Amino acid sequence: MVNAINSKQRGRRTAGGFSPLALTIIITCAVLFVVFCGWLSIRLNILGYTPENSDSYVFTERSGPYYERLSDREKVIYEAVVSAAEQLRSRTETLDTGLTEKEFENVMLAVRYDEAALFFLDTFNCSADTSEKNSVVMLKYKTDGQSAYKMTSELKAAADELIGDLGADLTDVEAVLAIHDRLIKSCEKAGSKKQSKFVSTVYGAIVEKKADASGYSNAMRYLLSMVDIQCAVVFGEADGQSHTWNAVRSDGEYYYTDVYFDDPDSTTIPNLPVHAFFMMRAETMPGRTVFPDSFSIESSGDYDYYTDKGYRAADADNLKGIINNAVNEADKENRLFIEIAVPEDTELDFLLETVISIIKKHNYETVGYVSRLHPEARVFSTGRRGYYTIQLFR
């Protein structure tokens, strides 16, 4: 009888395939497996790791010099940070790459100096939660999302207006010169009083029109990128003080340009652009120390603004002709100043006497001019010995 019953039970298990308990276990496992697969699929799509979405964080066109120096792991985080910041997210998605403290610093430095358009991102206060296998970057912003979108639109409109009728037939040097001068005429140096939180950004320089050295140099990078000219922000010290300026590529050569130092910020000559630090070779850039982490250049280019414009006096014998030509050009352009380069050993008294003798011939108010002619007030040393900007009076 027992054998008969066992035979029937075996027959039922064989006919049904599984006992009720086994079937329950199998169904439960199947359901859990489907749920797990669904969760995993969603998770992998978020991370961007599925084969169809493996390049979700890859930017095919990156010209920033700081980005190019990053390791492959650092580039993954950089691209994730930029992607999140462009969408104003509070964090990047978890990525399967660890990041050391130094690597994180490299990434944020690269974002800071390559991504001028992300002026609303507070790169100094972003943080990373990282281990050997994965990392997340928490982003901090200088303003809320709605304001950031509005300010970005304002920046684009103001930059388009500043570029304006630049023209498509300019050489690289001519385009850089035009943008250099327009930025100086448009922007003024930030003072010592409390300033906008965007004073060090392209937004401060182009929209608010008041900036520090970082604002000027970020604005140059942003504006030159609009006309397809390579430009990098360089950071270090100038005369012992923290400072930023630009490296600009022109005709295959890199030059340094310091827009901030070329803006004298003079109340006597408003919106005066000078060119003592325009397109200079590295070895002729005075008082500058480039920090080790900064982009730096070597240049063999021979461009010189003063020589190109005919404003460089080789010696005392041709100083009078140079000044006379400069005054003639100032008359044609209705400018109230001339800008010249003279030999470093030129005596100031001789320079003033020469200027005065020419001023008299051009019907300027010589009496008022002579009475005010003073090295600190009317003959501006532009930061380099032998470079002077001289104000004229009509």
What does the pLDDT look like over 145-154, one tens digit per residue?
899 999 999 9
Q: Do 131 and 187 share a structural domain?
A: no
Q: Do 149 and 132 share a structural domain?
A: no
The angle formed by the CA atoms of residues 310, 316 and 318, to the nearest 5 degrees, is 40
Give a yes or no: residue 12 inside a domain.
Answer: no
* pLDDT for the residue numbered 158: 97
Q: What percent of the chain has pLDDT over 70?
A: 73
Q: Do 266 and 349 share a structural domain?
A: no
Give a yes or no: residue 59 inside a domain.
Answer: no
* pLDDT for the residue numbered 107: 95
* pLDDT for the residue numbered 279: 92
Segment among 78-87, 184-193, 224-233, 234-243 with least mean pLDDT:
184-193
Last residue of a domain, one of 303, 329, 347: 303
Highest mean pLDDT among 196-200, 277-281, 348-352: 196-200
Mean pLDDT score of the chain: 77
Rounded mean pLDDT, 136-161: 95
CB 195 within 8 A of CB 219: no
* pLDDT for the residue numbered 371: 32
Rounded mean pLDDT, 262-272: 65
Segment among 119-123, 204-208, 246-250 with least mean pLDDT:
246-250
CB 195 within 8 A of CB 188: no
- Of 217, 343, 233, give the one whose Cα is nearest residue 296: 233
Rounded mean pLDDT, 230-255: 91
Rounded mean pLDDT, 105-120: 96
Strands 231-238 and 241-250: antiparallel
CATH number for the domain harbouring residue 187: 3.10.620.30
- Residue 247 pLDDT exceeds 90: yes
Last residue of a domain, one of 249, 273, 303: 303
282-328 pLDDT, tens digit each: 877 777 889 999 988 887 788 988 889 888 888 777 888 888 888 78
Rounded mean pLDDT, 187-214: 91
Give a yes or no: residue 53 inside a domain.
Answer: no
Q: Do 363 and 298 share a structural domain?
A: no
Range of the domain at 133: 65-138
